[in-house]
Amino acid sequence: MAIDATTPWEALTPLSFLERSGAVFADRTAFIDGASRLTYGELFDRVRRLAGALREQGIGPGDFVAVLAPNRHHLLEAHFGVPATGATVVPLNTRLATPELTYILEHCGARTLLVADELAERGVPAADDAAHDIEVVHLGGSRDTYEQLLAAARPWWQRPDDEGSLLAVNYTSGTTGRPKGVMYHHRGAYLQGMAMALHSRLSSDSTFLWTLPMFHCNGWCFPYAVTAVGATHVGLPRVDPAEIWRLIEEHDVSHLNAAPTVLIDLVRHPDARPRPEHRPIQVATGGAPPSPTLLEQLADLRIEVTHLYGLTETFGPSVICEEPPEWRDLPADQLARRKARQGVPNAVGGRIRVIAPEGTDVPADGQAMGEVALRGNTIMAGYLHDAEATRQAIPDGWFRTGDLGVMHPDGYVELRDRSKDIIVSGGENIASIEVEQAIASHPAVAEAAVVAGQHPRWGETPVAFVTLHADATVSAEDLIAHTKQRIASYKAPTRVEFRELPRTSTGKIQKYRLRELANDAE
């Protein structure tokens, strides 16, 4: 039998998680934001009022609402309230520069921008500079219009009829340097939220600290996972090790997600203390494999780490380093090597392959290298307004990640390399061409090439090799400052070397030689 019009079923949507928790856990604490607290009943009411306020502004299906906010309750509310109108939420990277924000607002055609008071200095000009009119709603501060809208709004709540409809768009630089809008559907976000709750062992007595940016891949769909089980969200506007340890102690935090960089800062901080045996912290990490040394240090603090792998295009973690009980008896060095693998598909992740250039699977011997390819329910619907980029990324029903790896005999994938032009710094992807273009905009620069240089804290940072025009002069410090005026500061090079660029016989820059130079100099 097939599902038809008489079958009593409903489309999958993460909105159902809040609807359920708003009733079942109405009096439980949903969000702790500094001194303020919201119960799930209150959160559900605020989300419905946000949806009602947006509807009164004419927002509905086909519209886009952007949000520029730190990890506070406003951003969580937008994750549910915007889709409840039928519109699409666009969480914005809080570290982007004004021109970058303007490009995204124009590209998606955002009709409304919700902007936090502390980010208004970049967010408001970004909206003003856009080629179309954008309604700006201020979150907090003296210009707060958000609370006024909620207070005056009539509640609205509507689930989608089509689980394949657009829920969110997350922008990622990719390999070209121009941001691409990754389209998330309700079905994928629902299933990914369920998978994250399962693998993280979340329950209604869990307390989740928002160390991971909620704008990043819709917070790996943890806004939905934490809400689904009725656990408590704890906001963290800015990553600070001292504040993290304070909140862990004050709120008995049981879960957090973070890049290895943040975990390194936590174990090194003087406030680091082992957690009680009955309340270890479950941590999911991605972006780079945690080192054996870091894993040992975290274990001493009773922080249990799960290694994940995914991309913006896969709703965040699509692959998990599942740890079977048999691994517990392995020597520490062998266990660390196993835990550094990317792993196997998560519970809803579909399938994973490692394929040769001709499209065939490489041998599962842990040696033969190929490109990692994925398919399943948590793969993007495509890139917004970019059919050609979508076709290139998914040429045959399999999403090409651009990462190179091996398949082990036990079915676990391990990355061995990544697309060479992408720099992963502190868990954030940086496209080298974007940095090169920012540097090259300086009048003294004739040409620039940017590669990844190893960094003890961030994993990788951009290193720039620059050729100047004849008779032109500029210091490395001035070039770095110039770059920071055009793109987000974290994308700027940490080192600039002035030299002629090595080339092939056909004139192409030999970036592999520049990588050697960048890392030999360390």
Q: Which fold has domain 345-417?
A: Luciferase; domain 3 (2.30.38)
- pLDDT tens, residue by residue, 81-118: 999 999 999 999 998 999 999 999 999 999 999 999 99
pLDDT tens for 20-61 read: 999 999 999 999 999 999 999 999 999 999 999 999 999 999
Question: What is the per-residue pLDDT for 505?
Answer: 42
Confidence of residue 175 (pLDDT cuts 50, 70, 90): very low
Question: Which class is domain 422-520?
Answer: alpha beta
pLDDT, averaged across the chain: 92
Residue with more model confidence, 173 or 78: 78
Q: How confident is the model at residue 264 (pLDDT cuts 50, 70, 90)?
A: confident
Q: Which residues contact 101 (CB under 8 A, 6 or more apart)?
A: 68, 92, 122, 123, 126
Q: Specify the pLDDT at position 422.
A: 76
The reply to whether domains 15-320 and 345-417 share a CATH topology is: no
**Angle, nearest 10°, between helix axes 260-268 and 241-251?**
80
- Would you place residue 421 in the very low, low, confident or very high pLDDT band (cuts 50, 70, 90)? low
- Which residues, at least 6 apart from 348, have a Cβ–Cβ distance to it below 8 Å? 191, 192, 194, 195, 376, 377, 378
pLDDT of residue 506: 43
Q: What is the mean pLDDT of residues 205-215?
A: 97
Provide the pLDDT confidence category of residue 173 given band limits of 50, 70 and 90.
Answer: low
Compute the average pLDDT of residues 298-316. Answer: 94
Bridge partners of residue 284, in order along the sequence: 257, 306
Q: Which of 508, 373, 371, 511 has the alpha carbon at shortest distance from 432?
A: 511
**Average pLDDT score over residue span 350-358:** 94
Domain ranges of the chain: 15-320, 345-417, 422-520
- The DSSP H or E segment spanning 199 is helix 186-199
pLDDT at 91: 98
Grade residue 521 by pLDDT with cuts at 50, 70 and 90: low
The pLDDT value given to residue 206: 98
Question: In terms of DSSP bridges, do strands 36-39 and 29-33 run parallel, antiparallel, or are they unpaired?
Answer: antiparallel
**Which pLDDT score, from 0 to 100, does residue 504 have?**
55
pLDDT at 508: 61
pLDDT at 3 over 80: no
Contact 380, 184 (CB under 8 A): yes
pLDDT for 138 equals: 98
Binned at pLDDT 50, 70 and 90, residue 176 comes out as very low
Range of 310-324, 434-448, 503-517 with top mean pLDDT: 310-324
Task: Out of 156-165, 181-190, 278-287, pick the least confident.
Answer: 278-287
Per cent of the chain over pLDDT 90 is 76
Does residue 128 register a pLDDT over 70?
A: yes
pLDDT beyond 90 at 418: no
Which pLDDT score is estimated for 290? 76
In this prediction, what percent of the chain has a pLDDT beyond 70? Answer: 96
Comparison of pLDDT for 441 and 507, the residue scoring more: 441
Q: Residue 234 in contact with residue 251, Cβ under 8 Å?
A: yes
Task: Find, among 13, 329, 41, the residue nearest to 187 by Cα.
Answer: 13
What is the model's pLDDT at position 308? 94
Q: How far is 483 from 404, CA to CA, in rounded Å?
A: 30
Q: Specify the 3-state DSSP secondary structure of 196.
A: helix
Predicted confidence (pLDDT) at residue 178 exceeds the cutoff of 80: no
- CA distance linking residue 95 with residue 448, whole number of Å: 23
Higher pLDDT, 186 or 175: 186
Best CATH choice for the domain 15-320 from the list 1.10.645.10, 3.10.50.40, 3.40.50.12780, 3.40.50.10860: 3.40.50.12780
For residue 4, count CB atoms less than 10 angstroms from its CB and return exposed for 0-12, middle for 13-18, buried for 19 or more: exposed
At residue 253, what are phi and psi to the nearest 5 degrees? -65, 135
Pair 352, 321: CB distance under 8 Å: no
Least confident of 71-85, 166-180, 213-227: 166-180
The pLDDT of residue 335: 85
